[in-house]
Amino acid sequence: MPDEDRLLTAVDTLYAVTPDEFVRTRTSLAAAAKSAGDAVAAKEIATLRRPSLAAWALNQVAREAAATLDMLLDVGGRLREAQSRLDAAAIQDLRAERDAAVDAYVTAAVDCASRHGRSLSAAARQEVRDTAIAALADETAATAASSGRLLTSLSYSGFGEVDLSDALARTGPPLLRVAPPADEDAAGGAMRSNAGSAGTDEGSGSQARAAGKAAGAHAARKAAVDTRAARKEAAEAERRARAERVASAGQALEAAERDVEETERLLVEARRAYRRAVRARDVARDALHAARET
C-alpha cells in the first residue's frame, strides 16, 4: 500500500501548479516518492493526468477563491433543499442569487487564470459555467469541485447523477477531500497527516468508505428524483402563469377592439354630422345672398 499522506500531499501539490509546470512537477514528485522507498506511490503519481485548462482554473478557484466557491455551494444547498420540498416559490426566489453565484464563480476562474498568466477562452468559460451548474444540482459534484483535483469540467444533463468517472485525479476514497487553501500553514498539513494515519483497521476503513459511498449514491439518486419533481412542478407553475398572461392579453385585445369599433362608429357619425353642417351652412349662405339681392 502507498503512503496515503505522501500521495495526497503530492496530488495537492501537483494540481496546484500551472499546466506548463505539470509534467516537470509530476516527475519530481514521483522521483521523490521512489527515493523514499514508496514505489507504489511513485507509480500512482507518475500516472496522474494533466487537467484541461478549464479544470486547472477550477482547481485554483478551490484553493484561491474559497469564499466564492462557498457562496456557490451555499446557494446550491438551499436550492436542492427547496427542490426536495417541491417549493417552486423558493426556487424562483433563489434564481437571482443562483445566477449571481454562477457569474461570480466564472469571474473567479478567469481571475485565477489571469494571476497565473493564463487566459480562458469563451469555450473554457462555458465549461466553468457548466461545472457551476453541476455543483448547484448535485452534492457529489459540489464536493468534486471543492477537491481541487478536477481533470475535466463537469456537466449536468438535468436528470440523474453527474458523471465523475473520469473527472477527478484519483478514483479512491481520498479523491473527494476538499483542496487545501493556497495559504494553508504547516499546522494544517500536520492535521492532514494525523488524520491520514489515524486508522488502524484497514478492513473497517474499507467498509466505512464503501458504506459512505453507497449512502452518497443513494442521496444523489434521491436528489435527482427530487430535482426532476421540482423541475416538473416549476414548469407546471410557469405553464399556468403563461396561460394566465395569454388569457389576460386576450381580454385586453378584445376590449381594445371594442374601443376601436366604437371609435370608428363615432367617427362615421361625426363625419355625417360634419357633412350635414356644411350643407346647412351652404343653404344659409345662399339664402343670405338671395335676400340681399331682392
In a domain, 56, yes or no: yes
- Please give the mean pLDDT across all residues of the chain: 79
The string of pLDDT tens digits covering residues 78-110 is 999 988 888 888 888 899 999 999 999 999 999
**C-alpha cell at position 26:** 509530476
- Alpha-carbon distance of 178 to 180, in angstroms, equals 6
Looking at the structure, do residues 124 and 240 belong to the same domain, yes or no? yes
Return the bridge partners of 150, or none: 168
Q: Is the pLDDT of residue 262 over 70?
A: yes
> 197 or 57: whose pLDDT is higher?
57
Looking at the structure, do residues 119 and 157 belong to the same domain, yes or no? yes
In a domain, 111, yes or no: yes
Looking at the structure, do residues 217 and 98 belong to the same domain, yes or no? yes
pLDDT band at 2 (very low <50, low <70, confident <90, very high): low
Q: Is the pLDDT of residue 198 over 60?
A: no
The string of pLDDT tens digits covering residues 10-59 is 888 999 999 999 999 999 999 999 999 989 989 999 999 999 999 999 99
Query: Rounded to 5 degrees, what angle do the CA atoms 246, 250, 254 make?
Result: 175
Domain span at residue 96? 51-167+211-256
> 224 or 76: whose pLDDT is higher?
76
The model's pTM: 0.58
